[in-house]
Amino acid sequence: MTMPNKIDSQLLLDLITLYADYAAVVDSAQWDKWVDFFVEDCEYKIQPRENYERGFPLSTLALLSKNMLKDRVYGIHETLYHDPYYQRHIVGLPVIREVSDDLIVAEANYAIFRTKLSEESTVFNVGRYLDRIQRDANGLKFVSRLCIYDSEMIPNSIIYPI
């Protein structure tokens, strides 16, 4: 992999579209479509910044295959009970860190707002995505998505994907 000297404008547009589509699917609770953003042998983690920066592996949520993502979707639909809420992602423009023929390393800042039905909207989670993205004839898919959140504390629990 190499650091890109000049960013291919189509690649950047494809990445922006991937990030926007991901946020739209998660914000509209289309959990089955969320799984389709990932390759079969994927990694999806939600981890506090302190643990990530210190090299500690402990994550709030660690899903290590597409089947584990499907299990999470099943849990959201069938077994997890919680006060209903909406979430809304604001995702910054992606920064491309490395590019090879079939893999892109990128990151983007995010902020997620949560709205419970009878309450004001609040900031739910803020951090950055660290992504490894596969590029092939079928488009772009996440090989890994690390959601590194800034706060050591999270309200209650994380039910929906970040």
| Residue 157 in domain | no
Cβ atoms of 141 and 66 within 8 Å: the answer is no
Helices of type H across the chain: 9-27, 31-35, 49-54, 66-74
| Residue 162 in domain | no
| Residue 131 in domain | yes
Which domain does 59 fall in, by range? 9-149
CATH of residue 41: 3.10.450.50
| Residue 159 in domain | no
Q: Looking at residue 79, what DSSP letter applies?
A: I
| Residue 139 in domain | yes
Looking only at the bridges linking them, the beta strands covering 139-149 and 38-48 are parallel
If one counts the domains in the chain, the total is 1
CB neighbours of 63 closer than 8 A, spacing ≥ 6? Answer: 42, 43, 44, 45, 69, 71, 72
pTM of the model: 0.92
- The string of pLDDT tens digits covering residues 42-101 is 999 999 999 999 999 999 999 999 999 999 999 888 876 777 889 999 999 999 999 998
Query: Mean pLDDT throughout 14-38?
Result: 97
Q: 114 pLDDT band (50/70/90 cuts)?
A: very high
